[in-house]
Amino acid sequence: MPRIFAPLRRWGARPGSLAMLVAGLAIGALTFGSLGSFMVYANSEQFCANSCHEMTSTVALEYKNSIHDINRSGMRATCNDCHVPHEHIPNYLAKMGLFSDLWGHFVTHSIDTPAKFEAKRYELAKRVWVDMKANDSRECRFCHTAAKMDAAKQTTTAKKRHDKMRKENLTCIDCHFAISHKEPDGPGPKELGQVATGKQ
């Protein structure tokens, strides 16, 4: 052990080493504090809906007055509630996807006009559906807990469909999609699963 710590002791004995250590700790604290603050801001509706015109002129407009924006309970689900994991590690990993968004925004300009966005709408929606099917609609279930659903307050049709969901191992997004955004042309989430498994 003394051999391991000897270089550290020699470094500590040099003039200015304490100041360097304090400066390093301060820079580290500032970096992590800034990163944490950005993560909080990046999870806000303000950031998601208004940071780039690609969202402002398309899906952010569609979200306004949708059932997730205005409803009888007053409970709102904002962009991050549906599109970003709530757990810390998955949230950080999802935020790494911002780099591909920045690439598309600044370099390729892949959806920088409403026409380009419409041309890619199905591809973008499909990407979200595939992710939600893979994680069993994790973000939906963060707010909507199946165990707490009051069957007595559901319509007969809703009860039948939820029973079918449990029996056929379906997930929320299989039926509840295009709630806050325009439905794209093409197979929906449930049909995607049938194609993948060979069912018709």
Question: Annotation-wise, does 140 bind a ligand?
Answer: yes
Question: Annotation-wise, does 69 bind a ligand?
Answer: no
| Best CA proximity match to 176, nearest among 187, 188, 185 | 188
Question: Annotation-wise, does 80 bind a ligand?
Answer: yes
> Which positions ≥6 away from 147 have C-beta within 8 Å?
none
Answer yes or no: are the C-beta atoms of 134 and 126 closer than 8 Å: no
Question: Annotation-wise, does 52 bind a ligand?
Answer: yes
Rounded CA separation 184/174 (Å)? 15
Question: Annotation-wise, does 105 bind a ligand?
Answer: no
Question: Annotation-wise, does 176 bind a ligand?
Answer: yes
Question: Annotation-wise, does 181 bind a ligand?
Answer: yes
Question: Annotation-wise, does 112 bind a ligand?
Answer: no
Separation of first and last alpha carbons in the chain? 68
Question: Annotation-wise, does 83 bind a ligand?
Answer: yes
Other CB atoms within a 10 A radius of the CB of residue 126 amount to 16
Question: Annotation-wise, does 68 bind a ligand?
Answer: no
Binding-site residue ranges for a menaquinol: 80, 82, 101
Binding-site residue ranges: 48, 52, 55, 79-80, 82-83, 101, 140, 143-144, 172, 175-176, 181
Binding-site residue ranges for heme: 48, 52, 55, 79, 83, 101, 140, 143-144, 172, 175-176, 181
